[in-house]
């Protein structure tokens, strides 16, 4: 094993850029059909945000003065979630990833629940399984939206949300996954294109859309979730590929909506959970779970 120094990720532009470069190097050979990468400004902002909110869960590995790996993880109301886990290809297989994940896992002490999203990676699957996660295979939906397939919205209104809806968002989060996203919503509001809200007698929910990508969706019923997903897909600009990710077997409602509008399902990656079942109806964010 190479000699490695593990240090905290700092809330600086320089460390955010180092983490971005490490992730790009680690995932350079990923399939084009892999997870949709967030825009660079969001990735940099996320690193600095988590370095502030979760300094005990964000670590950088260096060898001979060069960065070789990074992990970012989140702790929210008893739920721990790895947000990024990247090791430079030249350092893989040398114990760097194990050291990083062990250090980040210390941030999870006392947490009864855990979640993680990952693209296809045997090394990541092994590490997360050894960390106690039950791995659920996932699908993604991609393609151009066939607007003729969009069903009549019925009697559930959907409108744009803002910071005034944070209490509603946290309430839905706690009901579905046992913990709120808290300060993460403020970051997502500032960087994703729009937040959609449904709040009616039938239930409530929300969805973040960023261009053609559905970044996070949570609702108190499948009916509300399907309504939000249809609205998000209806707002995808013409000519832009739509993308809905991290569908476990429990999210058949999302698969049905995707098929209605001509999206193509493909298998790949997994959602890992421990101390809980996959939330439903729920489409996690790869970055904020």
Cross-strand partners of 214: 209, 244
pLDDT tens digits along 16-30: 999 999 999 988 765
Tokens linked to 114: 């855990």
Distance of alpha carbon 79 from alpha carbon 182, whole angstroms:
12
The whole-number pLDDT of residue 30 equals 53
Distance of alpha carbon 182 from alpha carbon 132, whole angstroms:
25
Q: Is the pLDDT of residue 236 over 90?
A: yes
Across the range 139-163, mean pLDDT stands at 88
Q: What is the mean pLDDT of the chain?
A: 92
Query: Read out DSSP for 218-243?
Result: EESSHHHHHHHHHHHHHTSPTTPPEE
Q: Is the pLDDT of residue 78 over 80?
A: yes
- pLDDT above 70 covers a percentage of the chain that reads 95
User: Considering the domain 5-111 in this protein, what is its CATH number?
Assistant: 3.40.630.30
Residue 108 per-residue DSSP state = G
Across the range 244-270, mean pLDDT stands at 95
CA distances from 213 to 106, 140, 237, 268 (A): 33, 11, 11, 17
Look up the pTM and report it. 0.93
Which residue is listed with tokens 């979760």? 54
Strands of the chain (E only): list them: 5-8, 59-63, 66-76, 79-87, 113-118, 134-143, 159-160, 194-200, 203-210, 213-219, 242-247, 264-274, 282-283
Q: Do domains 5-111 and 140-283 have the same CATH topology?
A: yes
> Out of 16-20, 45-49, 103-107, 121-125, which region has the weakest mean confidence (pLDDT)?
121-125
Distance of alpha carbon 73 from alpha carbon 116, whole angstroms:
10
The whole-number pLDDT of residue 36 equals 56
pLDDT band at 92 (very low <50, low <70, confident <90, very high): confident
Rg over CA atoms, the chain: 19
Question: Is 140-283 CATH 3.40.630.90?
Answer: yes
Cβ-proximal residues to 198 (8 Å cutoff; 6+ apart), any chain: 156, 157, 158, 204, 205, 206, 219, 224, 227, 228
Q: Is the pLDDT of residue 94 over 90?
A: no
Distance of alpha carbon 16 from alpha carbon 46, whole angstroms:
8
The domains of the chain are located at 5-111, 140-283
The whole-number pLDDT of residue 3 equals 82
* ω into 281 cis (within 30 of 0): yes
From the CB of residue 167, how many other CB atoms can be counted at a distance below 10 Å?
9
pLDDT tens digits along 19-72: 999 999 988 765 433 445 678 899 999 999 999 999 999 999 999 889 999 999
When mean pLDDT is compared over 112-121, 152-161, 203-212, the highest value belongs to 203-212
Across the range 191-211, mean pLDDT stands at 95
- Grouping H, G, I as helix, E, B as strand and the rest as coil, residue 209 is strand
């Amino acid at each position: 094993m190479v000699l490695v120094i593990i240090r905290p990720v700092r809330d600086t532009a320089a460390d955010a850029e180092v983490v971005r470069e490490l992730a790009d190097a680690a995932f350079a050979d990923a399939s084009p059909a892999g997870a949709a990468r967030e825009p660079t400004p969001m990735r940099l902002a996320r690193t600095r945000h988590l370095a502030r909110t979760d300094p005990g869960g964000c670590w950088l590995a260096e060898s001979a003065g060069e960065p070789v790996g990074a992990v970012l993880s989140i702790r929210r109301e008893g739920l721990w979630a790895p947000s990024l886990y990247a090791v430079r290809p030249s350092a893989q297989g040398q114990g760097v990833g194990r050291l990083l994940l062990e250090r980040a896992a210390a941030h999870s002490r006392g947490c009864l629940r855990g979640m993680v999203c990952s693209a296809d990676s045997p090394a990541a699957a092994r590490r997360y399984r050894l960390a106690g996660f039950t791995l659920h295979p996932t699908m993604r939906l991609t393609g151009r939206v066939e607007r003729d397939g969009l069903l009549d919205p019925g009697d559930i209104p959907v409108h744009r949300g803002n910071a005034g809806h944070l209490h509603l968002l946290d309430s839905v989060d706690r009901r579905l996954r046992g913990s709120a996203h808290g300060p993460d919503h403020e970051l997502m509001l500032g960087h994703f294109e729009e937040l959609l809200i449904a709040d009616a007698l039938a239930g409530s929910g929300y969805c973040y859309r960023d261009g053609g990508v559905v970044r996070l969706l949570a609702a108190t019923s499948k009916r509300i979730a399907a309504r939000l997903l249809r609205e998000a897909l209806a707002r995808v600009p013409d000519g832009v590929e739509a993308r809905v990710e991290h569908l476990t077997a429990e999210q058949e409602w999302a698969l049905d909506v995707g098929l209605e509008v001509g999206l193509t399902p493909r298998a790949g990656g997994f959602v890992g959970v421990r101390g809980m079942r996959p939330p439903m109806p729920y489409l996690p964010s790869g970055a904020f779970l």
